[in-house]
Homo-oligomer: A and B are copies of this chain.
Amino acid sequence: MREFFHQSLEDVQERLVEISDLVTVAMDKATQAFSASNVALAEEVISEDSIIDEKAVALDELAIEILARQQPVARDLRIVVTALRVSASLERMGDIAEHIAQLTRMRFPERAIPKGLKGTFKRMGELDVEVARTLTELLRTQNLELIEAIRDADDQIDELHISVFEKVLGDSWSGEAGATVDATLASRYHERFADHAVNVAKKVVYLATGDWNVDTDSITIIAEQAADTES
């Protein structure tokens, strides 16, 4: 029984990492499809999103089964609780990748990215993929120093999000209403994706330390303390 227990707990963590990895791949494909108006790639993201959804539900199911059968404590409990708290956010990140793919498909054969914003969205997309990749690594290693990189990328994405609005509302904007809608939605999707990643990252702090409600500004201090304790 004990054997099964540990197996399952490792399984919970592996599945978290696996879902985060699938989200990273989805966002990578979605943002590339969006940049290049690649409708075949967009279709892939759209059809594969249900895999992420199913895996998130299965993870919740496993987590609850472990709680009911095994009544884990301490760190084991924290892993299970974290899975329950973050699975919906990861699933939502997959949905956002799908939304970006849908925008691409909806506008095809036209480009979904409005004129003058190509570079901005390319950069936002790269940053989002970087955020997802770092989040996967954070879930795998629980190295809290990675949180700083996620927050930095999120800050850069927020700035780019604001710059999209400045562009769209500026005098030089000649886009029609359709282009304005596309830019607004696409920018919002890119920004929300990273927000979700930051929320998941905060919950990994609890997983790694058992500390609650940590002010994210003090994460660096905690990461240093954790590194100290381990060395």
Contacts and interface: CB of A to CB of B under 8 A. Distances in A.
Nearest to A213: B57
The oligomer's copy count stands at 2
Contacts of A165: 181
A89 interface: yes
A178 interface: yes
Contact of A169 (B73, B181, B188, B212): B181
A177 B169 contact: yes
A25 B77 CA distance: 35
Interface stretch (A60-68, A125-133, A136-144, A219-227): A60-68
A89 B81 CA distance: 16
Interface string A116-152: 0000000000000000000000000000000000000
Contact of A81 (B67, B74, B178, B212): B67
A180 interface: yes
A93 interface: no
27 contacts: A57-B212, A60-B85, A61-B212, A61-B213, A64-B77, A64-B81, A67-B77, A68-B73, A68-B74, A68-B77, A81-B84, A84-B84, A85-B85, A85-B88, A88-B88, A88-B199, A165-B181, A168-B177, A168-B181, A169-B181, A173-B177, A177-B180, A180-B180, A180-B181, A184-B185, A185-B188, A188-B188
